[in-house]
Amino acid sequence: MELIEVLMKEHRKIENVLDEFHVWVDRMIEENGDAREQLGRFVKFIVEFADGWHHGKEEDILFKTMVEHGFPSQFGPIGVMMQEHAQGREYVAQLQRFVQQNSPWDVSARQQVAKFALSYIDLLRNHIQKEDQILYPMAQARLPQAAMAFMQTRLEVFEGGPGRNEERNRVWQLGRDLTENSCCGCGAEHD
């Protein structure tokens, strides 16, 4: 599978987890819960899969190749994507703060968790749409075949390094666990 196909497949996995994350946020607010363990699972997926695995491929393979072939790095589509990756990391850092908080969540904490989570979800949904509809087709149309082949080689190196297959399977399974166990991924039955 070529790099852009892989990235788009990963987008679908990320969107599925975002759907469950949104459901979880709504339930967390309704139930006045302190569900830091489940938030921690979503944050772990975001950090390890969406950012580390997926954005790693975009930033280290696709974006670098596009820049090497004349696309500007500081503005235009790549600049926007990089800014959005950075903004997403800021939201996730705020969420991580609530995962690590020692005191129980009060109403204000739950509202802050919801604010950062929903901001992240909205940002990433729009980000994925821009990549799928603008950036990826632009890369496919403008990059020479040799660059596409080079990206494929870099993808194989990225995914094939020591322990990478196990890492991919682990983070992919985490996403599956978050989306398959129940309506919100927590594994509990809800009325």
Alpha-carbon distance of 185 to 44, in angstroms, equals 14
Alpha-carbon distance of 23 to 5, in angstroms, equals 28
- pLDDT at position 160, please? 85
């950062």: which residue's tokens? 116
Alpha-carbon distance of 44 to 178, in angstroms, equals 11
Homologous superfamily (CATH) for 3-180: nmb1532 protein domain like (1.20.120.520)
Is the Cβ–Cβ distance between 48 and 171 less than 8 Å? yes
Alpha-carbon distance of 105 to 87, in angstroms, equals 24
Mean pLDDT split into 10-residue runs, the chain, 191 residues: 93 97 93 83 95 93 97 94 97 97 90 97 98 96 96 92 80 89 45 34
- pLDDT at position 34, please? 65
Alpha-carbon distance of 55 to 92, in angstroms, equals 14
Write b or e for each residue in 121-152: b if 16 or more Cβ atoms lie within 10 A of its Cβ, otherwise e: bebbeebbeebeeebbebbeeebeeeeeebbe
Residue (of 41, 21, 44, 55) closest to 127 by Cα position: 55
- pLDDT at position 163, please? 77
DSSP 191: -
- pLDDT at position 181, please? 59
Residue (of 87, 38, 61, 74) closest to 143 by Cα position: 61
